[in-house]
Amino acid sequence: MSTLTVPFESLARTTSTVNLPVPAPIADADRKGLTKKETAADHPTWCPGCGDFSVLALYFKLIEKRKIWHEKITTIAGIGCSSRFPYFVQAHGAHFIHGRALPFASGVSLSRPDLHVFVFGGDGDAFSIGGNHFNHTARKNIKMTYCVMDNFVYGLTKKQTSPTSPIGFKSKTDTWGAVDQPINPMKQAVSAGATFVARTSATNPNHVLAMMEAAMDHDGFSFIECLSECVEFFPGAFDASNPRKGGKFENMPEGHDVTDELAAYKLAGEPFPGRFGIFYKVNRPTKNALEAGINTAAQAKVAGKKDWEILQATFNRMK
Amino acid sequence: MSDTTTAAVSGGGSGPKLTKINEAVIRIAGNSQDGIQAIGGFLARLAGRSEQEVMTFMTIPSTISGGPSIFQVRIGSGEVLSAGDEADMLLCFYQHSYEDHIKSIKLGGIVLYDSDHVTPKPEWQETYRHVGVAISSLVVEAIGGTGRDKGKNIYAMGLLAKIYDLNVPKLTKLIEERFTGKDTSVVANALTCFNAGYSHSLENLLKTYQFYPAEGKTGSQVVMNGNEALTFGLIAAGVRFGAGYPITPWSDIMESLRRELPKYGGMFIQTEDEISAISMAIGASYGGRVAVTGSSGPGISLKTEALGWASMAEMPLVVVDVQRGGPSTGMPTNVEQSDLNIACFGGHGDSPRVVLAPASVEDCFYTAIEAVNIARKYSTPVIILTDQGIATRIEAFPEPDLAKICQDISPDFTTVAEHKPYDLSAPDGITRHLAPGTRVASGKYPIATGLEHDELGHPTGSPKLHMQMTAKRRNKLKKLGTDLPTPKTIGPNEGQILLVGWGSALGPITEAVTRGRSVGDAISGLHLKHINPLPNGLGEIFKGFHHVFVVELNDEGLYGYGQFAQVLRARYADPKIRGINKSDGLTWKIKEILDRARTLADAVQQGKA
C-alpha cells in the first residue's frame, strides 16, 4: 500500500502535566482571598430554605480562607438538585451526567494534579446510579474532595425514594413507606477503602467548614456526607440532629482513633442522628502518586530522549 | 500459486525443481495454544524485512485455552491487499484442522500435515498434494521429550522455510530476537527445532518455491497489527491519557497504552466499567489534552450517554470502537462492520460526532492522528471505527517519519482577558475550551455542561438558544465535511458497477476491481474512510455508473440495505445504491464480491431486484 502522507511539523518533546507539583494554596502573597462576591456566579436555583445554600456559602468561605484562586478550583458535579453547584461558583467547573461525576473528576485529578478538585452531589448520584464509581474511586484513593449533600430523597425529580431514605419514608414511589434497607454512607465509604470519611450537617456551619478544610488537606480521596435538608420533599428529616429544633448534634466520642477502621464502622452503626466528625482517616498512597511513580520509573529508562525517539526505539523492534 | 507466472528454473534430473512465484497464501491450522500465531508473526516479519508485502488473517476461539485456531499469511512480491481467497498450502497439525480446512486450499494445492496426528483421506489425496511429516515425533527427537508442543510450530516453520526458500539468516535472527531475555536453552531449542525442520528431507515434495524479488520497495518497513498501529498513532498524535475496560478485541490497545504511555509522561487507567472509562477520558480532555477511550460493540453501547455529553459540551475526545460480531456478546472474535449506526447515530438527542474508519493496518496509525487533530480542531468527539479483522491482522508498511509526525498537544495556560467557550459569534463557529488552571482576567469563568447552555456554559431554557446551539454543533461538522477531500475512484470513473466500501473493505474492493477488470467487467471501486460527515462530491461519482453497490460486513436490514448503504441512500436519495452484505464473521473473499456484484447487477437489469 502506498505511504500516506501527513503534513505535520516537527515538534518538541511534549510537556508532561502529570508530574506537576501541587502548589501550596497560599502561593501568591499579593492576592487576597477571594470574597464571596468574586466567587459567586449564578444565583442558586434551590428552593428557599434548602440546606444546600449553607454548603455553598461555606465552600465560598473555604475558598476565601484558604486563598484558593479561581483558576485552580475545579468544581464538578453530576445530576441532582445539589449537582447544580458548579453554576453557582465563579471558577472552572463541569456539570457532567448522572452518577458519573467521580470518574470525570478522576480524569481531571489524575491528569492535572495541580488543581483542587471538588465534587458535589446528592445521595442518588453518589450511592445509587454512581454507587460503583464511589467504591472504586475510594479504593483507588484518587485525590479529590467529594461532598455528598444527603437529603434522603430525590428532590430534582420531586420526591422518589432515594438509597438513603429511611424505611417507612413515604415517597411517590413508596406511597406506603420505603421498604428497602438504606445505604449507610459512612459504612460504605469505610468498607470501600476511602482514606478520609467524615459526616457533618448543613445546619452546623462551623462544623461543615472544619470538615471541608480537613478534607481538602487530606492527601487522597476525602469524602464528606453533609446532611442537607430538602424542605420541600422531606422537611424535618434532620431535626433530630439540630439543637435548634430540639435535637442533638453529637460529635465523635472523646479519644476516637480515626485510624481505627472497626471503631469507625461501629460508630457508623449508631442509630440516627448518629455522630458527626471525622470517622476515619488514614494515609495510603494516592492513585496520583502511584501513577507518578510508575511514570518516573518508565521515564528514567528513556531519559533525555524526545518523544519521537522513544517511539522510534519501539518501531525499531518491530522491523 | 495464484496469478503467478511459473517458470521452472532448474530442470535436469534429480534435485527439487525451483519455481519462481509472485506470492503465496499459507494457511496454518491447529489449536489455539500451538503457537501457530507465532509462525504467522515470524513469516510476516520476515516479509517486512525482505521488503515484501504481507497480510495475515487469523481466527481464534473465544474460549480461554484450546479450540481450533488458524492463521493465514499471504506474502507477495507485488501488492497484497487482502489475506487471499484460497490458500496455496495448508499446514495442519490435527485431524480436525485437516478436515475443516482442506476446502480452503485451491485444487492441486499442498497439504503439509503432521503424520503423527493426521490420517489423510484417500479421496482428497487425488485432488491435493499431500506431504506428511511426523512433526510431533521429530520434534521430540530433535530436542528431547520435554516441551514438544512448544517446538512444533518452529519445526514447521523450518519446513516452510525450506519449501519457500525463505531467508534463513533473517529468520534465525528473528527467532533469536523473539526469545531474547529468556533462558538461553529456549533460544537453543527453538533454533534446533527450526534447523531440524529446515533440513528434513522433502524428497517426495518435488518442487520448492522462490519469491521473485520485490519491486519498487525502498526504505524500511515496520510490521505490526492494526491495534498496535492505532496505539502508536495515538501516541504519535500526542495523546497522553486514556481510560478503558477490558473487552475483546479492544483490550490489546488498552494493554499497550497502559504499558507505553508512562514512558511519555502519560497514563492509561483501567476503570471499573465502560461508563467510568469514557467519563474519565472526558475529564482528562476537559483537563486540557485530548484523551482516548475505546471498546468494542457492547461497551460502546454503555458509553453512549457520556458521548452525548461530549457532543453537547463540545469536548474533544477520541473513542476507538474495534467492531466485532454483534449484537450483544455476539461473535466476539469475529469481524463485522455493524457498529456504523451506533457510531454515527448512537445516543439520545441530536448529538453530532465525527466517525473515521481506517482502511488498513498502516491507515490505523494515520487515522489515529487525524482523529486527534479533528477532535482538537472542531472540539468534538471522534469515533475511530476499526474492526476485528484489521485489529488482529499483521501487515508490513513503510516506516513513518516519526521525527516529523510526532506532535505536542500540551495545553496552553496563558491568561486570557475573557472567554466564552460557546461563542455564537466566533467566525468559524467552533467552540474553544480553556483548560482549568487558565486564569480569566474578567473573573467570569466558563462551565462545561450537558445542559443546553448560553455562551458561557450556563443553563438556559431559551428556545432560541437551543436552536442556535444545536445549529452550531451541526454546522461545525458540516464545515468539516466540506474540508474533506473527495475520494478518487479505484479504476475508471465511469462504468457499469461501482463497488463502494468503507474501512477495512479497501483491500478487498481494490482487488475485486483489478480482478473484475482483468476479465472484462466494467467495474470500479470507491473507498470511504470519512463516514460522518461524508466528504462532498460522491453524487457526481455515482453518476458515472449504472450500479452503486455498497459492500459491507453487516446485515441487509429490513429494507435490503446495509448500514452504510442506508446513510448513502438518505444522503443521495439515489435508487442505484444497493447493498452487498454478509454476516458470516469472516473477511471478504474477492470471488464472493465479484459473484455477488454480477448477480445483483443482472437481477437489477432484469427488474428482479
The dihedral through the CA atoms of A137, A139, A144, A149 has a sign that is positive
Residue B87 maps to a domain: yes
Contact A252, A276 (CB under 8 A): yes
| Closest in A16, A71, A310 to B437, CB measured | A71
- Angstrom CA distances, B202 to B141, B424, B502, B508, stand at 17, 76, 44, 35
Cα gap B277→A295, rounded to integer Å: 20
CA distance B156 to chain A (A): 22
pLDDT higher than threshold 80 for residue A139: yes
Q: How many domains does chain A have?
A: 2
pLDDT digits 0-9 by tens, B4-23: 434 333 334 445 567 888 88
Structural domain boundaries enclosing B213: 17-218
pLDDT confidence of residue B146: 61
A169 and A311 fall within a common domain: no
Task: Give the end of a domain, one of B455, B483, B511.
Answer: B483
* Contact between chains at A8 and B275 (C-beta distance less than 8 A): no
A94:B313 CB<8 A? yes
For testing contact with chain B, the best of A76, A291, A307 (most B CBs within 10 A): A307
Q: Which of A152-166, B51-65, B359-373 has the lowest mean pLDDT?
A: B51-65
Where residue A66 sits, what CATH number does that domain have? Answer: 3.40.50.970
In tens, the pLDDT along B467-518 reads: 999 999 999 999 999 999 999 999 999 999 999 999 999 999 999 999 999 9
- Whether the upstream peptide bond of residue B246 has omega within 30° of 0, thus cis, is no
Which of B425, B460, B483 finishes a domain? B483
pLDDT band at B144 (very low <50, low <70, confident <90, very high): confident
pLDDT beyond 60 at B386: yes
Q: In terms of residue numbers, what domain contains A315? A: 287-319
Phi, psi at residue B32, to the nearest 5°?
-65, -25
3-state class of B519 per DSSP? coil
- Minimal CA–CA distance to B479: which of B593, B597, B592, B378? B378
pLDDT (average), residues B426-449: 93
pLDDT of residue B2: 43
Chain A interface includes B476 (CB < 8 A): no
Where residue B138 sits, what CATH number does that domain have?
Answer: 3.40.920.10
Contacts of B376 (CB under 8 A, 6+ apart): B290, B316, B409
pLDDT at residue B217 tops 80: no
Beta-bridge partners for B112: B91, B131
All cell numbers assigned to B520 = 472484462
Burial of residue B147 (CB within 10 Å: 0-12, 13-18, 19+) is: middle
pLDDT one-digit tens code per residue, B79-131: 777 778 889 999 999 999 999 999 999 998 999 999 999 999 999 999 999 99
Do B158 and B227 sit in the same domain of this protein?
Answer: no
Interatomic CA distance for residues B561 and B550, integer angstroms? 8
What does the block give as the cell for B8?
521452472
The pLDDT, as a whole number, for residue A26 is: 41
Residue A28 in any domain: the answer is no
For residue A197, list its beta bridge partners.
Answer: A223, A280
Strands, E, within B493-598: which ranges?
495-502, 523-528, 530-532, 545-552, 577-581
- Answer whether B393's CB lies under 8 Å from B225's CB: yes
Cα(B53)–Cα(B49) distance, rounded to whole angstroms?
10
Q: Which of B341, B361, B330, B35 is nearest to B186 (CA)?
A: B35
pLDDT of A52: 97
B494 & B566 share domain:
yes
Q: Find the length of chain B.
A: 609
Euclidean distance between CA atoms A31 and A64, whole angstroms: 11
ω into residue A7 within 30 of 0, thus cis? no
Q: Is B280 on the interface with A (CB under 8 A)?
A: yes
Q: How is residue A301 written as a grid cell?
A: 529508562
What per-residue confidence (pLDDT) applies to B141?
86
**Residue bearing cell 455515482:** B542
Grid coordinates representing B501? Answer: 466500501
Locate B117 and state its grid cell.
496426528
Residue B267 at interface with chain A, using a CB cutoff of 8 Å: yes
Size of interface A-B (CB pairs under 8 A): 244
Q: How remote is the C-alpha of A225 from its chain's centroid?
A: 10
pLDDT in tens, A272-311: 999 999 999 999 999 999 999 999 999 999 999 999 999 9
Please report residues of A whose CB lies closer than 8 A to that of B398.
3
Question: Closest-CA residue in chain A for B373?
Answer: A8
Nearest residue, CB atoms, B265 vs list A19, A69, A114: A19
CA of A127 to nearest chain B CA: how many angstroms apart? 15
Q: Which residue has the cell 434548602?
A: A50
Comparing CB atoms, the residue among A6, A115, A298 nearest residue B263 is A298
Whether B205 has a pLDDT exceeding 80, the answer reads: no
A66 found inside a domain: yes
CATH code for the domain of B598: 3.40.50.920
Which residues in chain B have their CB less than 8 angstroms from residue A135's CB? 272
pLDDT per position as a tens digit, A64-112: 999 898 899 999 999 999 999 999 999 999 999 999 999 999 999 999 9
Question: How far off is chain A from B126, nearest CA to CA, in Å?
Answer: 38
Q: Which residue has the higher pLDDT, A227 or B24?
A: A227
* Domain count of the fold of chain B: 4
Q: CB B407 to CB A11 under 8 A?
A: yes
Of A286-290, B136-140, B597-601, the least confident: B136-140
Residue B358's pLDDT band (cuts 50, 70, 90): very high
Selecting from B238, B280, B459 the residue whose C-beta is nearest the C-beta of A107 gives: B280
d(CA B51, CA B218): 7
Any residues with CB less than 8 A from the CB of B570 and at least 6 apart, and which? none
Residues A279 and A313 in one domain: no
Q: Strands A144-150 and A153-154, how do they pair? A: unpaired
Domain end, chosen from B405, B422, B454, is at B405
Gap from B136 CA to chain A (nearest CA, Å): 30
A60 and A201 housed in the same domain: yes
